[in-house]
Amino acid sequence: MPEKKTHQQLGEEGAAFCGEAVIAEFEALTRDAAAVQRDTLRRILADNACAEYLRGWGLDGRTDAASFRACVPLATHADIEPYIARIADGDTSAVLTAKPITSISLSSGTTQGKRKYLPFNQELVKSTMQIYRTSYAFRNRAFPVADGKALQFIYGSRQFTTKGGLTATTATTNVYRSEEFMPTMRAIQSQVCSPEAVIFGPDFAQSLYCHLLCGLLHADDVRIVSATFAHSVVLAFQTLERVWEDLVADIRAGTLSPARVAAPAVRKAVSALLAAPNPALADEVERRCAGLSNWYGVIPALFPNARYVHGIMTGSMEHYVKKLRHYAGGLPLVAAEYGASEGWVGANVEPETPPESATFTVLPNIAYFEFIPLKAASGGGGGWAAPADTCFAEAEPVGLTDVTVGEHYEVVVTTFAGLYRYRLGDVVKIAGFYNSTPKLKFVCRRNLMLSINIDKTSEHDLQLAVDSAAKLLAAEKLEVVDYSSHAEVTRDPGHYVVFWELNADYAAGHGHDEVLQSCCDELDRAFTDPGYVGSRRAAAIAPLELRVLQRGAFQKVLRHYLSLGAPVSQFKSPRCVGRSNNSGGVLQILNANVVKVFFSAAYD
């Protein structure tokens, strides 16, 4: 057993990888990404040559890419699931990796309605630390943060023990609980405002309240405001709008409200920070909150020395960027790293780029990457429609450095944690190269789409349609807080249903009906997939239905997922819901909160 490192040693190691040294390491890795990829694959296959999975495909210890691709097929989670189940149930043999899998990571379950079990080991902790260091080094070059604190809305997730005795929780919590995480993060970036008891608190609402309170206690020291997902930052400041007077009262009294925070460990940790009444700070927070117009610029108002807001802002999170800009005022928004529960892919090394244009540069030593070329679909408003399996003929995967700028691909990863030629299901566009490694622009999840007839409407298509229709709301000072969709096929012909929650209660007779009807018509016209357009014209798909929800509907969806054990730090509002598995519960919640229905006009 290696000697366990002290927090001081770990912190010193983290400090050694800061700043320009990290960037120099990254430059070296990306100059000859092809060679790094060959070595990465060799190490993965050599380390795991005895694994049952690889032996079963007849690899026989070979470590070159040609043999690997010839012997081992592309795989989905369904292909790997039986092996992971054996590990979770206690099989300690070399099933997927030579070394035992130390714990299980759980996906959020908000994408497909079912949480996936995934292998987790120390190598994933190492790659996490590397990608965090890399992204932070480039961020700190663009937005220097010499000292101060980070207000991070992060949350540990509930965990349980599998039949075989392994801890199962989210990938982020597996990392947070590793001995390297906190010391390294403290070494490479600002100190976090909140005690660990808040991060790992038993109740999300209590932890969120305490994150806000801890941030306010250190208001002038906050340099970074961040969360795993943009949604969590938006949710935090939506909550602030409702509870700021309680926060002010707690600061003024120097005591933590028992009505807001009851968990003993959380109360103890935060009460130690409150320490004593602070009427001067309470008055200042009250003055700043009262002086805001519609909460615009609340982040720099409360945290005047903050340099930027950071989190995942691409894919399904892009919808929240507009609201995040509202809260951030003029502060830069910086898109976070690109990865998945299965592992990391790329770092944002151009942090000054707006989130809508953010790209992610692949780190060639954290996994072995392949890319399945996707044939462009004809027609469509954007020139390419995110395809279903029936929309295109797949070409053979190409290597990391063999991709073509401007083309679309599905990402395939081989990881140090026992996933081999694993299809992530993510569609990316190659935006360019950094040295010899590609820069990826995330497009969408491949398997999330609406389909009634021959239409194939992706999550990205849905987002574009919602954005187009939502522009009509501006004159009424309305905005779409959140949205989802559903393919209604219980009647023939079927039709698309789009759910909207607005920032104000629905008010009939105040001009809202007219503008919402126009929004409904625009939504229908904004779906430009040729299959949809042709089906609508042929009446094979019925008029689109817009269901307006009462305020708070998506908060109920969030609470539903939390009740099922899903982690708030990984929560993503489901953009397309069905009637099966967890999505059925979500559909019931959405339908129970409908306050008004509109149908689109005849299609011309």
Say yes or no: 136 and 104 in one domain: no
Domain with 374 in it: 358-445
Residue 33 backbone phi and psi in degrees, to 5: -65, -30
Contact status, residue 102 vs residue 174, Cβ threshold 8 Å: no
Summarize pLDDT for 226-242 with one digit per residue, the tens.
Answer: 988 888 898 899 999 99
Of the candidates 445, 467, 488, which is a domain's last residue? 445
Residue 594 lies in a domain: yes
Please count the structural domains in the chain: 4
**CB neighbour class for 475 (10 Å; exposed up to 12, middle 13-18, buried from 19):** exposed
Contact 79, 407 (CB under 8 A): no
Are both 323 and 217 inside the same structural domain? Answer: yes
Strand (E) or helix (H) holding 168:
strand 167-170
The span from the CA of 393 to the CA of 339, in Å, is: 26
- Measure the N-to-C terminal CA separation of the chain; round to a whole number of Å: 72
Cis link prior to 73 (omega < 30° from 0)? no
Same domain, 128 and 52: no
Element (H, E) at 324: helix 321-328
Looking at the fold, whether 202 and 327 belong to one and the same domain comes out as: yes
Dihedrals phi, psi of 129, to nearest 5 degrees: -60, -40
What digits encode the pLDDT tens for the residues 311-354?
Answer: 989 877 888 898 999 999 989 999 998 888 788 899 999 999 99
Could you tell me what percent of the chain has a pLDDT over 90? 40
pLDDT tens sequence across 27-71: 999 999 999 999 999 999 999 999 999 999 999 899 999 999 999
Same domain, 148 and 297: yes
Mean pLDDT across the stretch 188-207? 81
Residues 174 and 53 in one domain: no
Answer yes or no: do 309 and 367 share one domain: no
Return the pLDDT at 490: 82
Does the residue 347 lie in any domain? Answer: no
> 294 in a domain, yes or no?
yes
On whether both 272 and 158 belong to a single domain, the answer is yes
Cα dihedral 504, 462, 539, 545, rounded to 10, equals -20
d(CA 337, CA 317): 13
Q: pLDDT digits over 379-407, tens only?
A: 433 334 444 333 444 688 999 999 999 99
44 assigned to some structural domain = yes
**Beta strands 437-445 and 360-362, pairing class:** antiparallel
Tokens 């609470």 locate to 559
Both 307 and 382 in a single domain?
Answer: no
Evaluate whether residue 303 is within a structural domain: yes
pLDDT digits (tens, 9 = 90+) for 126-149: 888 888 889 989 998 999 887 788
State pLDDT tens for residues 437-471: 999 998 877 766 677 777 777 777 888 898 898 88
CA distance 375 to 428: 13
Q: What per-residue confidence (pLDDT) applies to 319? A: 82
Last residue of a domain, one of 87, 120, 153: 120
Instruction: Indicate if 191 and 310 belong to the same structural domain.
Output: yes
Q: Tell whether 3 is covered by a domain.
A: no
Is 433 in the same domain as 466? no
pLDDT band at residue 566 using 50, 70 and 90 as cut-offs? low
Mean pLDDT of the chain: 83
In a domain, 10, yes or no: no
Shared-domain flag, residues 182 and 256: yes
How many CB atoms lie under 10 A from the CB of residue 581?
A: 13
